């Protein structure tokens, strides 16, 4: 009945079907909506990603859609003008308002974790060395992963790790790294390239 109603709305009224409908529990703010000024680079992932890397922005967080969108616009300028990236490095970012902000999205190669171009980078906006993101932010990230699996844009058996597990970085902060190490997908042994601390 619900599907029929959607079809009716789509066919008879011309209303677009919300692309987030197949991903319950999350709100993804598309890059057009937060005011992206630079086109997403067109380098598609060549395989369904098997790795997810969690980051934090090591900055103030944002608590409303307006302030989070402003943060995204500034981040894009920083990533491109200062760091020399072609776009925002992350595939997705989680705002303090519990919304998910589209970076490069599911299908485009990101620029976030060296050695793992075929992976999805998700960054929590804020600094999570000493305290955790809110429960709504954590829930949004977990729902996003479930959504990716459901849509077929993330491998069913993907592993989740922190940036620090694969690189010389403290990202995503001690508290957040402790949190993701309890997630069912956390599998550091899946990494072929481990962090620099273990190599010494
Ligand atoms: Zn990071």
- Alpha carbon of 27 to ligand 1 centroid (Å): 23
- Alpha carbon of 168 to ligand 1 centroid (Å): 10
- pLDDT at residue number 198: 56
Tokens 């934090």 map to which residue?
Answer: 56
Domain boundaries, the chain: 51-193
Q: Which residues pair with 121 in a beta bridge?
A: 53
- pLDDT at residue number 25: 78
Q: Answer with the residue of higher pLDDT: 40 or 115.
A: 115
Half-sphere exposure of 192 (CA within 13 A, CB side): 5
- Alpha carbon of 2 to ligand 1 centroid (Å): 41
> How far apart, in Å, are the Cα atoms of 60 and each of 48, 71, 133, 193?
32, 9, 12, 30
- Alpha carbon of 172 to ligand 1 centroid (Å): 6
Over the stretch 106-163, which tens digit does the pLDDT of each residue have?
A: 999 999 999 999 999 999 999 999 999 999 999 999 999 999 999 999 999 999 999 9
- Nearest-angstrom CA–CA distance, 120 and 10: 31
- Alpha carbon of 113 to ligand 1 centroid (Å): 7
In contact, 54 and 160? CB cutoff 8 Å: yes
- pLDDT at residue number 19: 47
Q: Answer with the residue of higher pLDDT: 63 or 197.
A: 63
- Write out the two tokens for 71: 């943060």
- pLDDT at residue number 178: 97
- pLDDT at residue number 61: 96
- pLDDT at residue number 35: 97
- Alpha carbon of 20 to ligand 1 centroid (Å): 26
Per DSSP, the three-state class of 114 is coil
For residue 28, the surrounding DSSP H or E stretch is strand 28-29
CA 44 from centre of chain: 16
Over the stretch 76-86, which tens digit does the pLDDT of each residue have?
A: 999 999 999 99
Per-residue pLDDT for 75 more than 80? Answer: yes
* Mean pLDDT of all residues belonging to the chain: 87
Concatenated DSSP letters of 39-97: PPP--B-SS---EEEEEE--S----SHHHHHHHHHHHHHIIIIIS--SS-S-SEEE-TT
Give the architecture-level CATH label for domain 51-193. 3-Layer(aba) Sandwich (3.40)
- Alpha carbon of 17 to ligand 1 centroid (Å): 34
Per-residue pLDDT for 186 more than 80? Answer: yes
């Amino acid at each position: 009945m619900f599907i029929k109603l959607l079809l009716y709305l789509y066919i008879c009224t011309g209303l677009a079907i919300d692309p987030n409908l197949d991903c319950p529990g999350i709100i993804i703010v598309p890059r057009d909506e937060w005011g992206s000024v630079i086109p997403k680079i067109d380098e598609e992932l060549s395989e369904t990603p098997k790795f997810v890397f969690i980051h934090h922005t090591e900055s103030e967080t944002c608590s409303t859609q307006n302030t989070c969108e402003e943060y995204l616009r500034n981040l894009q300028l920083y990533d491109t003008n200062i760091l020399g990236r072609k776009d925002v490095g992350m595939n997705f970012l989680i705002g303090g308002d519990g919304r998910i902000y589209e970076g490069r999205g599911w299908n485009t190669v990101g620029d976030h974790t060296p050695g793992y171009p075929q992976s999805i980078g998700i960054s929590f906006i804020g600094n999570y060395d000493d305290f955790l993101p809110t429960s709504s932010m954590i829930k949004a990230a977990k729902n996003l992963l479930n959504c990716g699996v459901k849509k077929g844009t993330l491998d069913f058996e993907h592993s989740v790790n922190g940036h620090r597990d694969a690189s010389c970085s403290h990202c995503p902060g001690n508290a957040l790294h402790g949190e993701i190490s309890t997630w069912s997908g956390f599998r550091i042994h899946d990494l072929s390239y481990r962090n620099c601390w273990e190599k010494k």
